[in-house]
Structure 1
């Protein structure tokens, strides 16, 4: 690297910002330009469905860095600017205002966008009381409409849908949550964990309806507001506010148009490079081969974005990056903290540590004798211990995992001893 090297980062979310500041912290001396179409100061997204929506956080408290930190680190922040094309031959990105920025290294941190509800096109999608939750503007609009005794219909039983439902219940709204799946959190948790969260929400007052498909909407006479949600089973649900959260689509169009390999994300190698070695990708938009799980994955999480950003900074500055860590996720609903580590896909059994009747347990997902993932509810110590089990692939004794008379740290110590003697 030298003082004339140019790094352009496309995307001003967490991944992009962390790459920029990580480069400076690692000794990068060249130019850094951070480009994104958002017009607000880069900010954290997870609190939008939690503290911010509940009115317990301000926009300023969500900033990833203070506004003056960018100039202080000689990072040029180009907000409100869209990158429309990549010219790989000239090593330039083309901006919406016609400018071209030269790069020696290009980092795509383009993130993702909410998966659209197929039946919510036209006037429905433009209605002020029909929203997805991805941006600060979305959260502000929703927060203004969290009015006591009003009727909220949430479409989608994933993390966002459940977190929004919990916040709305606390605002004394009447909440109905619809999910096409047979249970909430079906894609990411085992049936007992889904049952725990369904019970938790129903006890709080949420009307959860699984196996329910939305087929349309009723609109006000002026076509400005949604007045009811229509379901395939004939149910009509009057609504003052509708929020849809049915997944994320990675923003790969820029990469695809530039001829980069795309497959449910921008495909990258172990060095974070795309099919063009001068272009890297990071965060929600990046698909990579996990060494831990020996399969291709795309992970939507804050910890993954942070880890990959640090890896890019280390690689570009000629340093040795850390080994892959187990991915982890979290969700706060009511006063319950759910923390999950690992990827449970492919598990063939679960072991419960604690009682599912109380908000104080861990669920281990196993494939054979290997622990693939762990869900912990209000057990932060076991969560941290579980990260070690999965990252280090420790051969813990499965029969002991459900026995609370044996501390998890002792199970881990025995597994380490077995590894060292092998």
Structure 2
């Protein structure tokens, strides 16, 4: 009788288990997501800031427990470092692809999209692909169709090619695979159509086009700022980056040559005045001043939080493992480290730039008192 009861109980458990919904954990080797970016960074002298240990925090943004914008924030930090290293094109490209790498899903559900704009314009319009085994109608956390986070930021309807991203517009990539193994084209500048026919397109000038740009072409980029803030900022970055061999600033590139610096400052001023979100410009300028006033008190031994950026002397510094790691700015070309204002969104960026450009960027916001707010 006992054996029969046990057998019936086993059948009952098996029957109950088979009635449960089947879920598959979709995972990847997250450390592979930045391999090509690390190689590009090391090739241009990134050193400790590019090694795998320094990337662990970024790898973690692909895990299921990460916030919806953590991956984008990590990609922003990767672009920031690229700009400290002469705006290396490969570093920027692989940061753009990292921003689109599918994330792990423990429940075979889609992963919500970030619902805020990135800090760097190079990442505008980018969002992660999904793995094909992920549910196309339910997202992690039980989100249903129409809920906030189920549609990429800036779009009015779901993607027409479900699970796709600009780097792979045809659809998802194979479960567990890396986007860098599928493509080396981040898809920047491609149009992505939504189900309702709404499309978004981010335009960035190519390095080869910008290399032959003249002062008149740069002036044209300045004119375009009045028509489209994000396009102008991106075009100005490309033109100024090619015009100098120095480290470019975030949002609007810093120029080491006086003509390019003048163009950049003019573009920043025009963009600030034409922005419909101008209310944050003054706050950006004042925040940059506060940071610049704080930097002289820091040393390489100052305590810091992982991922923090700062200026120590004339060098750019990033907190790695609880300690600042510095990257010298090209002082021979007249560059120094400073906090600058973002042009088309709230926030600041710390980078190598010319003193003249830093002053012009802050003054364009209406902030008084120069670089630090104290008149200096």
Q: TM-score, normalised by structure 2?
A: 0.26
Q: TM-score, normalised by structure 1?
A: 0.24
More helix by share: 2
More strand by share: 1
